[in-house]
Structure 1
Amino acid sequence: MTVIRAVTHNTGAVAQAILTYANHPGLKELRLAVTRAYRYDEDVPEGNSNNLLQNSPILQAVAVFDLPYTVNNSIAVVIDSPGLSMQRDARAGEVKHLTSDLLKLNLAPGKLT
């Protein structure tokens, strides 16, 4: 499988990339991963900075496609811009809006994990 990384420069582009890939006819699977949210200093694992308090939870996505007429017909696109990684009220709203939009797509069972 070939793996490439999406180039996004802001949170709107990250959300748009995920939705665009979710709508692609060759989509085999869209995997969303969200880390734990750290709210208090005592929650941060020992040896880590308090950046986890400011930047969690982190949303990442991997879109896997089956492409015809290619040698290894699977390709994965990693969408992990730090733009959607920061937990701020506006970004939390973007993540909620994105997940709502993804659910509205009614993707086939097993495509959204």
Structure 2
Amino acid sequence: MENMQYAEELVREFLVFGGFTNTLQAFERQRESCTDIGKGFQVAKILDLIFAVYIPKFQAEKLVGLSSFCKQCLSSWSETTMLDTLSKLEGSVLWRYTVHALQSGRKDKAVEFF
């Protein structure tokens, strides 16, 4: 999480230095208004996001992006068991996306995903 805070500070510094005051204000509003799923890894919110938004609305890119984000955040852990579990979970979630697309008659979304 320290890396995320550091990156946010770099973005803020860049916006201030470049004189992008309107963009800085929008950035700050966005940070205040949205739920940061990365902070504390609120599992219930992440699962709700996956199963109530990304899968039903066929948002495969966001689903894969979230998975990559989680892997990146947890990659510094030395526990291979945790990373193995995360990989299995990722496979299961992506499988669920494919099954949902096919059951919903959206073969195009399943093909697009692959």
TM score, norm. by length of structure 1:
0.32
Pick 1 or 2: higher relative contact order, CA cutoff 8 A, min separation 6. Answer: 1
* Greater strand content: 1
- Tell which structure's C-alpha radius of gyration is larger: 2
TM score, norm. by length of structure 2:
0.31
